[in-house]
Homo-oligomer: A and B are copies of this chain.
C-alpha cells in the first residue's frame, strides 16, 4: 500500500476524538471493527451495574422502583439527543423486533383505510417478518420497493400507502438512504414513515426532527455500546402522541400504572410506548454506556466516521489487483453509513482468519465482508493495519484453513 503509516499517524494526530478511546475497555491490541454488531464495553458500565445490584436491588429493594420507573423515558431523552429530537419523544425498552411490531401497527392505525405497508425487500429480516405479521393482523398488504426507488414509487403509487418502513442504512452494503427524500415523498402521498435507525444511531446525524420523521425504532447494542441485547427504543414525533394507538398495551404505558380496574387508557406523551416491566440491569448498563457520548457533537462523530471509512476505501483501492475486493459501499460520502462492505467469494473464511490476527469484523452471506468503524475508538492506524492484515490473509489464502470453515449457523 502506498498509503503509509505516516499518513495514518498524521490523520490520528489531527483527530479531536482520539482521546475518547479511553472511555472503552477494549482488549489490549485488538482492532475491533464489529461495533456495528456488538459495541465493546464502556468503562462506565460496570460501576453502574454494580451500584444497581449492590445498592438499589440488594439494599433498597422495591423502593428503587421510584427511580427505575423513570428510566425508559429518561434514557430515551439521552438517545433522543443523538437522533436530533427534543425531549419527551423517545421511550426505551423491549427488543428491536418487539418495538418494530408495536410501532408498525401503531403507524398503520394513524392512517386508517389505507391498505399498503411499504418496505424494503432487502430490509433486515426481522423488519420484514414483523411487517408481514402486522399486515396480516390488520388486513393490509406488504409491498416491497427498494429504498433507492421508494421516493419515486411513492410519488407515482403512494395513495394507498399507510406506512413506509425503511432502514436508514442498509445493514449489508452500508449504503445510507435518503431520509429526507423518502420522508417527504411519504408525506406527499399522505403516509407516515417508520425509519429503522439501528445502523445509524450513534454514528450519523439523523436529524429526525428536521426531516419531519414520524416514527423510528432502533437498537442500542451496536454503535451505542449498550451491551448484549440492551433494550431498543422508539421515537414518535410529539404531533402523533395523542393518536398513537399501540397494540402492546402494557401496564406501564397506562395513564395510571397502578390502576386495578377499568380499560386500558394510554398515558399522555411517549410514556404510552412503554410496555411492561423494563429489564433494569440491561437498561442501567445502556444508561451508563451513553456516557461515552458526553462532550461530543454528532457532527464530530460523522466527520471522523467519514474520515475512517474514506481512508479504509483508499487503503483497499491501493491493494494489488489480485485477490480482488469489490468495494460495495458507495464512495460518495453523502451515501455512506458507518460501515464499509467488501465483496469476495471467501468472505466468511477471511473474516474468521482475521480473528487470530487481532482484527474482529464480520461477514454476511453469501460474499460480504463488513467492517464497522466507530469514531470513538477506531483510529486511522487501526484502519490501515486491518487492511494490511486482510491482504495478508487473502494473499496467503489463510481462509482455506479448515479451522476457518463454517461450523455453525451462528458462526
The reply on A103 being an interface residue by CB < 8 A is: no
In the complex formed, the residue of B with least CB distance to A58 is B41
Residue total for A at the interface (Cβ-Cβ under 8 A): 87
B40, B278, B279, B364: which contacts A58 (Cβ < 8 A)? B40
Does B278 lie within 8 Å of A281, measured CB to CB? no
B58, B250, B263: which contacts A25 (Cβ < 8 A)? B58
Q: Identify which of A221, A259, A260 gathers the most chain B CB atoms within 10 Å of its CB.
A: A260
Does B27 lie within 8 Å of A58, measured CB to CB? yes
Does A280 lie within 8 Å of B130, measured CB to CB? no
The reply on A132 being an interface residue by CB < 8 A is: yes
Interfacial residues of chain A within 368-411, with CB under 8 A of chain B in the complex: 408-411
Interface segment out of the listed A61-69, A78-86, A112-120: A61-69
Closest Cβ of chain B to A238, distance in Å, is 23
How far, in angstroms, from A364 to B365 measured CA to CA in the complex?
Answer: 54
Does B264 lie within 8 Å of A133, measured CB to CB? yes
How far, in angstroms, from A250 to B100 measured CA to CA in the complex?
Answer: 10
The reply on A181 being an interface residue by CB < 8 A is: no
Interface segment out of the listed A6-14, A227-235, A290-298: A227-235
Interfacial residues of chain A within 277-306, with CB under 8 A of chain B in the complex: 277-283, 285
What 5 A-B pairs are tightest by C-beta distance, nearest first?
A95-B276, A97-B276, A97-B250, A228-B280, A279-B282
Q: Using a CB–CB distance below 8 Å, which chain A residues touch chain B?
A: 25, 27, 32, 34, 37-38, 40-41, 45-46, 49-50, 52-54, 56-59, 61-62, 64-66, 68-69, 93-98, 101, 105, 124-126, 128-130, 132-133, 136-138, 172, 219, 221, 227-232, 247-252, 254, 256-261, 263-264, 275-283, 285, 360, 362, 364-365, 408-411
